[in-house]
Each structure stands twice: as structure tokens, then as C-alpha cells.
Amino acid sequence: MPDVQHPAPTAAGIFHRLDAEWAVLCADVDVQAVVTDWLMTDRLADAVTDAVTDAQVRALGPAQLLAVLRPRGGRRTHELTDAVLRTLLRRAAGRDRSATLAARIVVQAMIPAAVRITRGQVRPSSGRPFDDVGHMTVAALFEVARSGRIHTRPGRPAANLTLDTLRHLCRNLAAEREERGEDLTLAEELPDSAPGPAEVAEAKATGAAAAAAGLQPAGPLTESEADRARLDLLELVLDAMETGTLSPNDGRAIAWHYATDPVPDSTAASRAGTTAGAWQRRRSRALTRLTASLQLRPAA
């Protein structure tokens, strides 16, 4: 089983390596047997395939799961995709060896989103190349998949996975920058750790655009909110609003909920002139579209 928490650097890069390992995984008959047993135990085999004989059902494996988790052409329903992903996440939260396999399948399904997250965190000032950040993204995604927090949460599980992975990665990058700063202090070579002019300008521009779009219910970004995770979320939402993926109310439903001080759904619904239930459904649909837009972007 590949070690996705500590993958070895390769010239081809972490995402190419994961794709290569996936091909090996799909060809493993033992892995195929485990996946088939999962599908039969969870009563998903009939929904995943049109197979009618026992032999055909026994031929199910990781490749068939990935086809459901990354549906194309509208042949699969969101309900089925969510059901399969929740099943995998529930199994990934276990403590046996099959939990690692379940989490590995989740990682493969989320690679397009992981690539997008990685691209958003590669900055010239950080000194970290794309592949290094990619390794950290994959490790964060794997850890979130194993956490047991996602499959019980309302909303689309892929959207929740994406947002939790982004937050986890940003925390890790921030901690690493702080650790590097302490090392430099010991060497008496510590540079100014304050954000540079470009970063400050970028944060102000994002905050201003978010406030203008109504994504900041309390006004401009406060210092406590101007962390990288919040800025990245606002940038994702603003981009989606600009391309028409999200409406203004869709963007607010996401941004108000995933804030340092979240706006209660009842309060948000009152401001929007709707009910709390309708507002929650709007957020769920908006997260679905946002996640789909991330996954549809090219991975290379």
C-alpha cells in the first residue's frame, strides 16, 4: 500500500505518482476482493454496476468506485456519488488495514481538487515548489479522510473534504513558516516575518472585493480573519461568482458559514428573506457547484 502520508519525491511529481500507483492498485486482485466485499456489505453493488451475475459482481474493484466518485456525462446521480463517498469515509475512519485502502481511494477521487488547492498555495515568497506543497496537500487530504469527521456532516461530502483539506493545509504551512522563523532566529538571520507589500495588497484587495460582494457580513476583514485559509476561501468564492458558478446569495451562504464568527443560519436566512432550511439547502447546493468547478479544472 502506498504511503500517502510520507510519499517519496519523484521527478514526475506527487500527482503523477499517485496516478501510477492507482493503476497498480486496480490490478491487485486482493484489493479488488476487498472492494467487492465492501460494496456487497453496504448494498451498493447493484447501484454501482449493471452486473447481473455473481462473477460480474466479483469483478468490481477500485476502478468502478472511481467511476462513481468522478461521474461523467450525467450517468450517475449525486445521491449515489455521495453515498459511495460517505461509505468510504466511514470505513476510512476505522483502525484496520482496510481503512488505509478506503482513504487511498478517497484521495484518488479528490486529486483534481487537491491539484487546485496546491496551485492556490504555491507562492513565490514561500520558497516551496509545487510538488512540495502537493505532498503536503495529499497528506492533509489523507488525514482529513481518516479523521471520521466528514461522513457524519451535512452537505456534500466532497465539498466538506475540500474545505477541511484547505484549512488543514493552511495551518500546516503557517506552522512551518513559524518554525522556520524560529530556526532563523537561532541563527541570528531572521528576516522580517511581517507580510510583504504584495501580500498586504493582495489581502486588502480580496477583503475589499469580498465586502463589496456582501461576503463579509460584519464589514471588512478583521485582523483575526485575514489568515490564509479565509482569504483562499474568499478567493475561491469570488472566482466562482465571477464565472457565474455561484450567485451572490450562494457565495454569501458559503462565506458567512465558514467564517471565524459564523452567521447563524436563522440570522442569515432572515437577512436573505428566506427560511433557515432553505438557506441550508442553498449552501449545500452552492458547495456542490463550487467543488464540481474545482474538480473539473485540468490537473496538469
206: nearest Cα among 244, 239, 173, 163: 239
Residue 292: pLDDT over 80: no
Grid cell in block for residue 157: 461530502
Contact 238, 202 (CB under 8 A): no
CA–CA separation, 5 and 141 (whole Å): 9
Most confident of 56-60, 72-76, 194-198, 206-210: 206-210
214 pLDDT band, cuts 50/70/90, is confident
Of 14-18, 76-80, 183-187, the least confident? 183-187
Contact 143, 169 (CB under 8 A): no
pLDDT of residue 190: 38
More confident: 125 or 186:
125
Can you tell me whether residue 155 is helix, strand or coil? coil
Grid cell in block for residue 143: 488525514
14: nearest Cα among 157, 111, 146, 86: 111
Mean pLDDT computed over every residue of the chain? 77
Give CA angle at 134 (126, 76), nearest 5°. 140
Contact 87, 105 (CB under 8 A): no
Residue 74 neighbours by CB under 8 Å, 6+ apart: none
List, for residues 127-175, the tens digit of each pLDDT value: 678 899 999 999 999 999 999 888 777 777 888 888 888 888 888 887 7
101 pLDDT band, cuts 50/70/90, is very high
Q: Would you list the domain boundaries of the chain?
A: 14-170, 195-295
Global pTM value: 0.60
Q: How far is CA 79 from the centre of its chain?
A: 19
What does the pLDDT average to over 62-81?
74
pLDDT of residue 41: 84
Q: Which residues of 245-261 are buried (b: 16+ CB within 10 A; e: fewer)?
A: bbeebbbbbbbbbbbee
Residue 8: pLDDT over 60: no
Can you tell me whether residue 39 is helix, strand or coil? helix
List, for residues 21-40, the tens digit of each pLDDT value: 999 999 998 998 898 888 88
What does the pLDDT average to over 116-133?
80
Residue 249: pLDDT over 80: yes
109: nearest Cα among 149, 145, 152: 145
pLDDT of residue 219: 57
List, for residues 188-198, the tens digit of each pLDDT value: 443 444 555 55
Residue with cell 454496476: 49
